[in-house]
Amino acid sequence: MQDEAIVIVGAGECGARAAQALREEGFVGLVTLIGAEPHAPYERPPLSKSVLTDEGLEGSHQIIAAERLAELGVRFLPGVSAIAISRPKRCLILSDGSRLSYARLLLATGANARRLPIPGADGPNCVYLRSHDDAMRIRRALGSDCRIAIVGGGFIGLEVAASARQRGAEVTLIEVQPRLLARCVPEDIAGVVIDKHVENGVDIRCGEALDRIEHHEGKATLHCRGGAVTADLVLIGIGAMPETGLAAEAGLQCDNGIAVNDRLQTSDPNIFAAGDCCSFPLGIYGGRRVRLESWRSAQDQGTVAARNLLGRDEPLTAVPWFWSDQYELTLQIAGLIDEGRATIRRDLGDGAFILFHLADDGRLVAASGIGPGNVVARDVRIAEMMISRAARPAPADLASPDVKLKALLAR
């Protein structure tokens, strides 16, 4: 394939990792990486954390510098968008009017912030956190004289709440659901997170419907069923939508994202998709189609996609894994919690604990833990390996801190 051209659309974690992996796998043909933002590829997880809190931080966390891409022989096109795919001609049309031919194409277009469908949600005091520029706007606003209202009690909203309190801002968090993290985190762990935010002065209002947002003289007024909230800045963090427009217009199959097989290949054999934008069947869960939004999944899929662009025919087998840092707490999740039918708790001391989620047949299908620092990291990692091996550990062994998880893995 040395004379063939591979084009990657999307210069985030997944796209940048795929570009590097192509060279690591020995591909010597032309590689083009297209990024809609003017920045070199950067990490997104720090946008809600250290980018908002670290003093003296002027830039974001780069994945790879433009100079390094040049050293690898990767042609990097920042500030350019792909607007159409001509599948018959194997050609990509760009926003600057240029055209790129490809032998293989990887779509790593990521996801966009879900918009809040109420009046005023796109007003001058509202911001959605998805990019480096979004984070810089929030960072400039934060301080002891800032009042920020956060709409959405998911990970983005809670991480920004923690960062804002660290910067001294007053924080009100509004969530329409009866509790925070209702869609993705067990109630026991969510309770620890909620207590920590309340302890740090966050005003949390759950079960609160928001009707409209009005903007006047630099302030925003959020009209809720339970009363009005006034803020200098409104962060809206109600989830993300996969960026499928380019794929859909090209006639590629979409299903909660760009639909791919377990090799990350779309309905066009010359086009692959990876990262937040795609959904795929996960073998360890019986081929259940999932779409994952996480840093490590983007890395894993970028590497697998690169190998399969080169004809390696490698299935995606990684266990889903996610983490969140809030104050001194770290939350980690391995696997899909909703696959579990029974839950076993293991206490680790100092308030840290892990929940093991078992299927009806006793298989370990997920593990979720929370605690200060990296207390839960090692055990969640071992649980992740057990999940990948379809292990069926005895519930009593999982519950007992005297039984080493490593010993269960060895069995």
pLDDT in tens, 95-142: 999 999 999 999 999 999 999 999 999 999 999 999 999 999 999 999
State CA 312 to chain mean position distance.
27
pLDDT of residue 57: 54
**What is the SS3 assignment for 245?**
helix
Number of residues that make up the chain: 411
Q: Is 349's pLDDT higher than 80?
A: yes
d(CA 135, CA 137): 5
What's the mean pLDDT when you consider all of the chain? 95
pLDDT of residue 378: 95
Of all residues in the chain, what percent carry a pLDDT higher than 90? 94
Q: Is 60's pLDDT higher than 80?
A: no
pLDDT of residue 184: 86
Got the DSSP string for 60-110?
--BSS-HHHHHHTTEEEEET--EEEEETTTTEEEETTS-EEE-SEEEE---
d(CA 372, CA 327): 9
pLDDT of residue 56: 58
Superfamily for domain range 5-43+61-112+241-309: FAD/NAD(P)-binding domain (3.50.50.60)
Would you say 165 and 148 are in contact if contact means Cβ atoms under 8 Å apart? no
Q: Is 58's pLDDT higher than 70?
A: no
At the topology level, CATH places domain 328-410 in: Enolase-like; domain 1 (3.30.390)
Would you say 369 and 335 are in contact if contact means Cβ atoms under 8 Å apart? no
pLDDT in tens, 12-46: 999 999 999 999 999 999 999 999 999 999 999 99
Closest CA to 5 of 34, 36, 28: 28
Fold match between domain 5-43+61-112+241-309 and domain 126-236: yes
d(CA 62, CA 167): 23
Q: At what angle do helices 13-24 and 295-309 cross, to 10 degrees?
A: 40
The amino acid occupying position 212 is R
pLDDT of residue 139: 93
pLDDT of residue 388: 96
pLDDT in tens, 242-263: 999 999 999 999 999 999 999 9
d(CA 203, CA 191): 15
d(CA 304, CA 109): 16
pLDDT band at 4 (very low <50, low <70, confident <90, very high): confident
pLDDT in tens, 287-336: 999 999 999 999 999 999 999 999 999 999 999 999 999 999 999 999 99
pLDDT of residue 47: 94
Superfamily for domain range 126-236: FAD/NAD(P)-binding domain (3.50.50.60)
Closest CA to 135 of 50, 16, 37, 201: 50
Domain boundaries, the chain: 5-43+61-112+241-309, 126-236, 328-410
Instruction: Give the CA angle between residues 222, 229, 136 to the nearest 5°.
Output: 75
pLDDT in tens, 374-408: 999 999 999 999 999 999 999 999 999 999 999 99
pLDDT band at 411 (very low <50, low <70, confident <90, very high): confident
**Bigger pLDDT: 62 vs 395:** 395
Beta strands 329-335 and 321-326: pairing type?
antiparallel
